[in-house]
Amino acid sequence: MDGVAILESEVRELVRRRGLDPARDSAGVRDLVAEVIADYDLRSMAGAVPAIADIARAAKSVLDAVAGLGPLQKYLDDPEVEEIWINGPTQVFVSRQGRPELTTTILTEDQVLYFVEQMLKSSGRRLDLSSPFVDAALPGGERLHVVIPSVTRHHASVNIRKFVMRASSLGDLVAARSLTSHAAGLLDACVRAGLNILVSGATHSGKTTMLNALAGSIPAHQRIITAEEVFELNLANRDVVALQCRQPSLEGTGEIPLRRLVKEALRMRPDRIIVGEVREAESLDLLIALNSGVPGMASIHANSARDAVAKICILPLLAGENVTAPFVVPTVATAIDVVVHLAMDARGLRTVREIVAVTGRVEAGIVETASIHRWSDGELVRGDGFPPHLERFEQAGIDLPSMLRPGR
C-alpha cells in the first residue's frame, strides 16, 4: 500500500471514530487530514511508513477522496469547467467555454454510484428503480441530474452543471460583455418600474444568470418569492423566500409540483414573484399570478423572443381541456411586458440577442411584439419599439423617452 492510500485509510478510520459527516463538515475533515499528515510525516522520518514526495498534493488527494468527489473534484474546483457529465465509467466529459472534452478520468461502476449517493445526501432526494430520475442542488450551488438503468441502456447518466458566472447585477453582465450598457439601463428601468419579464434562450444560454442579474434591480424594500424545481437562483436581495419542488415519497404521496409553489407564493405577501423556469402547466398559474397585480419574472426555453411568446401561449393549454387559446392568448398579451432572449456563440460567450416588448395587442390570434433591441452585425443595437406601461416608469421617476432617445 502506498503512502497516499495509507493516509486515506487512516483519515477514513478517524472520521468514523469521531462521527464526522464529510459531506457537511469539510472543514473538520480538512483539519483531520492535516493532523494525520503531521503524524504520518513523523513516522516516515523514522522509516515506519513510506515517504511521500509531495505532501500538499497527497493532502489534496485525500481530502477530495474523503470529503469530495475523488477524481471528479478537480473539475468542480476548476473555474473554467462549466459542466461535467458521465455517460459511463470510462466516459467522463467536461465542457469549457461551451466545448465538450473527453477527459482521461477512468472510474468504476461502483465509484459512479458512490459519488451520486454522496451528492444526493444533502439534497434529501432519492434515486431508485421506482424513481429513476433525480434533479438536485449540490451544496456548492451546482445542479445535479441523474438517470439510472433501465431508463438508460447500460450505465447511470450523470450531469453536474456549474454556474461559472455569478451575476448579482446587470452591471456584472455588462462587464462580462453579455450586455451593452444602454440595454442594461433599459432593463434596470423595466425592473424598477415593475414590468413582467420573460427570459428566453436555449440550454446553457445564461437564463438563470440573467434572472439573478435582473433581480439585482428590484428595490431593496421589496419582498421576493422564488419558485423552482431545484434551487438554482442565488439572489443577493435582503428579503427573499426561496421555494423548491419536492419528490413524492415511496408511497407516492407528498409531492409538491411547481404549480403548487406558484399558488402558495401568492399567499406569502410577495412584491415580486420569480419562477425559475416554466415548462408545462405551471405557466397558467404564472400568468394568473402576473395578472393579479404582482410583478414577476420567469425563464423559458425558446429559439427567439417571439418563439418564447408563442410558446407561453401554448403551454397553459396543458393545464386542462377547459383552458382554451381564446383565454390564454389575450392573457399573455396583458401579463408579459418584455422578453429578453439570450444565446451562446461559438466561443462560449453568452449574450443578449434581442429585447422585445409585448404591446398588449392581439391580431388574428397572435400576440403583437415590437423590437426594443435587436442583434445586427455581431452587436446589440436599438430597435424601434418601446416598452409598454409608460405610466409605470413615470411613477418610478424614470424618464423613459429620454433614455430611449436616438443617440443616447
**Beta-strand pair 81-88/157-161:** antiparallel
CA distance 84 to 99: 12
Which has more pLDDT, 1 or 173? 173
Q: Which residues pair with 224 in a beta bridge?
A: 240, 272
Closest residue by Cα to residue 71 from 60, 55, 80: 60
Report the CATH number at residue 237.
3.40.50.300
Report the CATH number at residue 95.
3.30.450.90
What does each C-alpha distance from 224 to 137, 239, 272, 297 come to in angstroms?
20, 6, 5, 11
What does each C-alpha distance from 67 to 74, 122, 134, 159, 275 come to in angstroms?
13, 13, 22, 20, 33
Grid cell digits, residue 159:
450531469
Residue 388 has pLDDT above 70, yes or no: yes
From 55-59, 72-76, 247-251, the region with the lowest mean pLDDT: 247-251
What does each C-alpha distance from 254 to 246, 251, 257 come to in angstroms?
8, 9, 10
Grid cell digits, residue 120:
444526493
Are 238 and 137 found together in one domain? no
Structure confidence at residue 24 (pLDDT): 75
Are 194 and 268 found together in one domain? yes
Structure confidence at residue 124 (pLDDT): 77
CA distance 245 to 280: 14
Are 157 and 200 found together in one domain? no
How confident is the model over 363-383, as pLDDT tens digits? 999 999 999 999 998 899 999
Q: Which residues pair with 351 in a beta bridge?
A: 343
Structure confidence at residue 236 (pLDDT): 85
Are 210 and 349 found together in one domain? yes
Tell which of 161, 179, 208 closes a domain: 161
Structure confidence at residue 1 (pLDDT): 57
Which has more pLDDT, 51 or 73? 73
Structure confidence at residue 284 (pLDDT): 95
Are 195 and 307 found together in one domain? yes
Give the pLDDT band (50/70/90) at residue 125: confident
Q: Range of 330's domain?
A: 170-404
Structure confidence at residue 89 (pLDDT): 95
Are 199 and 261 found together in one domain? yes
How confident is the model over 333-364, as pLDDT tens digits? 999 999 999 998 878 889 999 999 999 999 99
Which has more pLDDT, 356 or 123? 356
Give the pLDDT band (50/70/90) at residue 293: confident
Residue 407 has pLDDT above 60, yes or no: no
Give the pLDDT band (50/70/90) at residue 296: very high
Cell 399570478 belongs to residue:
289
Amino acid at residue number 407: G
Please state the domain count of the chain: 3
Residue 306 has pLDDT above 60, yes or no: yes
pTM of this structure: 0.85
Are 393 and 357 found together in one domain? yes
What does each C-alpha distance from 86 to 78, 159, 202, 335, 386 come to in angstroms?
17, 7, 21, 41, 46
Tell which of 68, 93, 121 closes a domain: 68
Residue 385 has pLDDT above 60, yes or no: yes
Give the pLDDT band (50/70/90) at residue 196: very high
CA distance 133 to 309: 30
Q: Is the preceding peptide bond at 150 cis, omega within 30 degrees of 0?
A: yes
Q: Element (H or E) spanning 189, and its range? A: helix 181-192
How confident is the model over 197-229, as pLDDT tens digits? 999 999 889 999 999 999 999 999 999 999 999
Are 389 and 321 found together in one domain? yes
Mean pLDDT computed over every residue of the chain: 91
Tell which of 52, 68, 84 closes a domain: 68
Are 386 and 283 found together in one domain? yes
What does each C-alpha distance from 402 to 40, 158, 361, 369 come to in angstroms?
70, 50, 25, 22
- Strand runs (DSSP E) across 307-348, as ranges? 338-344
Are 130 and 192 found together in one domain? no
Across the chain, how many H-helices and E-strands are there? 14, 15
Give the pLDDT band (50/70/90) at residue 248: confident
Structure confidence at residue 334 (pLDDT): 94
Are 341 and 276 found together in one domain? yes
Are 120 and 251 found together in one domain? no
Give the pLDDT band (50/70/90) at residue 406: low
Spatial neighbors of 279 by CB under 8 A, at least 6 apart, are 300, 301, 315
Closest residue by Cα to residue 60 from 26, 93, 104, 15: 26
What does each C-alpha distance from 176 to 33, 79, 167, 210 come to in angstroms?
38, 15, 9, 12
CA distance 209 to 197: 14
